[in-house]
A and B are shown apart, each in its own frame.
Chain A
Amino acid sequence: MLSRRSSLVALCVWLALAQGCRHQNESLSDLTLAHEVSPHPPRVGPVTITLRLTDTAGRHVDGARVTLEANMSHAGMAPVFADAPETEPGRYQSSMELTMAGDWFIMVHVNLADGRKLDRQFEIKGVGEKLAADFHR
């Protein structure tokens, strides 16, 4: 059985390692991910999400593989998955079908060309119902 001192040392080591892991993720905070959602205001149906990935010097980060996962704020609802291919250097665009009105959370999974991974999340609040005109298209 470990002595109390050994347990405390083990805990400190574990915490340090955990901090180290978090620092690795935090080192990716030097990248900026900007997003645009169209149409605005967003409505049920297809939306276009445009992402721009830049570093601290403002240079485009290209060659990444970007996938999106959209979830509602209520558990048990159908998530939506989509790829966001690069359309211009550092610009990634995706078309997703938002299936329900309400608040959506978009999780962005980025696999950079150098093998690092980046995860970000943003909200699309207040997605409205389809307009009557949309039903007649």
Chain B
Amino acid sequence: MPLVGNLLNWRHARTLLQIPLFVISVAMVLHGLFGPTLAPKNLATTLTWVHFRGALVFVLLFAGNFFCLACPFMFVRNLARKFFRPTRNWPRQLRNKWLSIALLVAMLFLYEWLDLWASPWWTAVLIIAYFAGALLIDAVFKHATFCKFICPIGQFNFVASTVSPLEVAVRDHDVCTRCATKDCIRGVREPAAPLVVIQRGCELALFQPRKVGNVDCTFCLDCVQACPHDNVGIISRLPASELMNDVMRSGVGFLSRRKDLAALAVVFAFGALLNVFGMVSPVYALEQFLATRFGVRSELPVLAFVFAFVLVCEPLLLIGVAAWITRVWSGSKRPLISLAVRYSYSLAPLGFGIWLAHFGFHFLTGFYTFIPVTQAAVADLGWAILGQPRWGLLGFAPNVVQLLEFGFITLGLIGSLLVSYSIAATEEVVHSERAFIPWAVLSLLIAVAAFWLMLQPMEMRGVVLGSG
């Protein structure tokens, strides 16, 4: 692509994109710590929970994992690595997604428990914790350890980008076959001083000729810039097609053998429902009911129960039953767990549709709210250059956006049905439709739950019970 292609090929393209986001992050942290305590008046809460989340999912929908490309945490980390070099490898036992899944769940939990959406201060602390985490981990451990094994936002992006229309990929595999240097993964080093890296190769261990899909790809473009043959680029593809194939993937392995990745896809899908449930009226009635049943007055145990039920018990039950029916009814020879793992990935498109509906709603209905918040923030510094804050500015009409919500969920459902059908069609069974139907029913159930949630009245409360 002209201009854009040349820009992305430039070795400092990533830095160029990271700098503005870093500056904005600093402004958000400062405003979160020292600015107005009311969330709609503060840059930290407005930009994080309205604009960042919304822009993230729309960029994933229409392009790919470009937010990881422009990640401000990596900007700081790259600066720091000019002064000190990590020497350790991430422990082998932790080279999986389990820790990052726990952190993703923790983040979703903290969001509800501490009402991060209502707290500029806690939002700022979260951003600082991210910077600190990225710096600390990547100061000690080599490569992109934070991105691949830790960052909750990154894991979210990896799953979501499986339905993105763009992918970093090889243009011509024959060129790779003839390549002797494999710079895309080894990087480019100074000939006279081999320890000096001129251009990094892939820090996430994705060897381009054998890379499949967007899982674990941060779109850092190191491979694009390292390739001496200009043979790596951002290529268009059929969204979610990578979920239909179970081939060996560089840096990832076989999806069907990655229980951790499957669990991440499940948390991604069911977490989408949970995150929406947390802001509709029925959740408060449920919390009161559970508190009465358990004899507690604090939100923490009630919330823990809800999380455990929705993210562990419910998926185990539903996916377990679907896998069992598939095995019994279709005559599949796969073990039960293998079936559950393989088909779990089919939930990713629907999960993304629900996240898109939720984050997209706040983004579109509050689209212009960053303007008065920025005006007020600048005015508080004594510079009245942006005029009086126009607090009445909002975004698109909620009733119009709600139609889009339903559209996103429907698209996600169609994606999940196509993926599960494609997986079933490649299974070695006599009746592939019998392998498909249980997963289609599961996707339909989740979609119906999502539609029901979107129809519930929104209710944003601080705490119903105590927050202890």
Verify that A and B bind, or say they do not.
yes
B161 contacts the other chain (Cβ, under 8 Å)? no
Cβ of B428 within 8 Å of any chain A Cβ, yes or no, is: no
Give the chain A neighbours of B41 by CB distance below 8 A: 71
**Is the CB of B15 closer than 8 A to any CB of chain A?**
no
- B375 on interface, CB distance cutoff 8 Å: no
CB contacts (< 8 Å) of A105 on chain B: these are 38
* B333 vs chain A, min Cβ distance (A): 50
A103 to B115 CA separation, bound complex (whole angstroms): 12
Within 8 A of B (CB), among A68-84: 69, 71-79, 81
Residue of B nearest to A73 (CB): B118
Report whether B391 and A129 are in contact in the complex, using a CB–CB cutoff of 8 Å: no
Q: Which of A40-98 contact B (CB under 8 A)?
A: 44, 69, 71-79, 81
Please determine whether B50 and A125 come into contact, CB atoms closer than 8 angstroms.
Answer: no
Contact indicator A75/B40 (Cβ below 8 Å): yes
Interchain CA distance A69-B36 in the complex, whole Å:
15
**Beta-carbon contact of B40 and A125 below 8 Å:** no
Bound-state Cα–Cα, A62 to B230, Å: 76
Q: Is the CB of B281 within 8 A of A76?
A: no
In the assembled complex, the Cα of A78 lies from the Cα of B396 at a distance in Å of 11
Give residues of chain B (333-381) contacting chain A, Cβ–Cβ below 8 Å: 362-363, 365-366, 369, 373
Q: Please determine whether B462 and A74 come into contact, CB atoms closer than 8 angstroms.
A: no
Q: How far is the CA of A69 from the CA of B46 in the complex (A)?
A: 18
Give chain B residues whose Cβ lies under 8 Å from the Cβ of A121.
Answer: 38
CB contacts (< 8 Å) of A126 on chain B: these are: 461, 464
Tell me the complex Cα distance, A100–B392, Å.
16
Are B460 and A78 in contact (CB-based, < 8 A)?
A: no
List chain B residues, Cβ under 8 A from A100: 457-460
Contact B457 A75 (CB under 8 A): no
Judged by a CB distance under 8 angstroms, whether A118 is at the interface is no
Q: Chain A residue with minimal CB distance to B41?
A: A71
Complex CA gap A107/B118 in Å reads: 16
Complex interface: chain A residues within 8 A of B459 (CB): 100-102, 129
Chain A residues lying within 8 Å of B49, measured Cβ to Cβ, are: 74-76
Interface string of A105-137 (1 = CB under 8 A from B): 101000000000000010001100100000000
Is there an interface contact between A72 and B40, defined as CB atoms closer than 8 Å? yes
With both beta carbons as reference points, the residue of chain B lying nearest to A105 in the complex is identified as: B38
CA distance A77 to B363 in the complex (A): 10
Q: Are B457 and A74 in contact (CB under 8 A)?
A: no
Q: Complex formed: what's the CA distance from A43 to B34 in Å?
A: 33
For A73, A74, A102, A125, which residue has the most chain B Cβ atoms within 10 angstroms? A74
Bound Cα distance A8, B206 (Å) = 53
Given known A-B contacts A101-B281, A105-B38, A73 and B460 have beta carbons under 8 A apart: yes
B117 in the interface (beta carbon within 8 A): yes
A64 shortest CB reach to chain B, Å = 21
- Per the bound structure, the CA–CA distance linking A73 and B49 in Å amounts to 12
Closest to A102 in B: B460
- Chain B residues with CB under 8 Å of A75's CB are 39-40, 42, 45-46, 49-50, 117, 366, 369, 373
A103 B460 Cβ-Cβ under 8 A: yes
A101 near B458 with CB under 8 A, answer yes
Flag if B366 contacts A103 (CB, 8 Å).
Answer: no
- The answer to the question of B63 belonging to the interface, with a C-beta cut-off of 8 Å to chain A, is no
Most buried by B among A44, A79, A129: A79
Expressed in whole angstroms, the minimum distance between the Cβ of B405 and any Cβ of chain A is 15
Report the nearest B residue to A69, measured CB to CB: B391
Q: Mark B66-80, 1 if CB is under 8 A from A, else 0.
A: 000000000000000
B425 within 8 A of A: no
B43 CB to nearest chain A CB (Å): 9
Task: Knowing A76-B365, A102-B458, A102-B461, say if A71 contacts B38 (CB, 8 Å).
Answer: yes
Complex Cα–Cα for A71 and B40 (A)? 7
Asked if residues B391 and A74 are in contact (CB atoms below 8 Å), the reply is no
Known: A101-B459, A102-B460, A129-B457. A74 touches B392 (CB 8 A): no
A103's contact among B50, B281, B363, B461, by CB below 8 Å, is which? B461
Choose among A77, A101, A102 the residue that contacts B40 (Cβ–Cβ < 8 A).
A77
> Do A74 and B281 have beta carbons less than 8 Å apart?
no
Pair A79/B42 contact, Cβ less than 8 Å? no
Closest-CB distance, B231 to chain A (whole angstroms): 44
| CB nearest to A127 among chain B residues | B459
Question: How far is A37 from B461 in the complex, measured between Cα atoms in Å?
Answer: 18
Give Cα A126 to B281, complex, Å: 11
Q: From known contacts A77-B40, A77-B366, A101-B281, infer whether A72 and B391 are also in contact, taking CB-CB under 8 Å.
A: no
What residues on B are CB-neighbors of A103 within 8 Å? 118, 460-462
Contacting residues of chain B (12-56) with chain A, CB-CB under 8 angstroms: 38-42, 45-46, 49-50
What's the minimum C-beta distance from A22 to chain B, rounded to whole angstroms? 14
> Which of these, A69, A77, A107, A129, contacts B460 with CB under 8 Å?
A77
Q: Is the CB of B45 within 8 A of A125?
A: no
Across the interface, which residues of B come within 8 angstroms of A76, CB to CB? 40, 46, 49-50, 362-363, 365-366, 369, 394-395
28 pairs, CB–CB < 8 Å, chain A vs chain B:
A71-B38, A72-B460, A73-B115, A73-B117, A73-B118, A73-B462, A74-B39, A74-B118, A74-B279, A75-B39, A75-B45, A75-B366, A76-B363, A76-B365, A76-B366, A77-B365, A81-B391, A81-B392, A100-B460, A101-B457, A101-B458, A101-B459, A101-B460, A102-B459, A102-B460, A103-B462, A125-B461, A129-B457
- B contacts, CB < 8 Å to A: 38-42, 45-46, 49-50, 115, 117-118, 279, 281, 362-363, 365-366, 369, 373, 391-392, 394-395, 457-462, 464
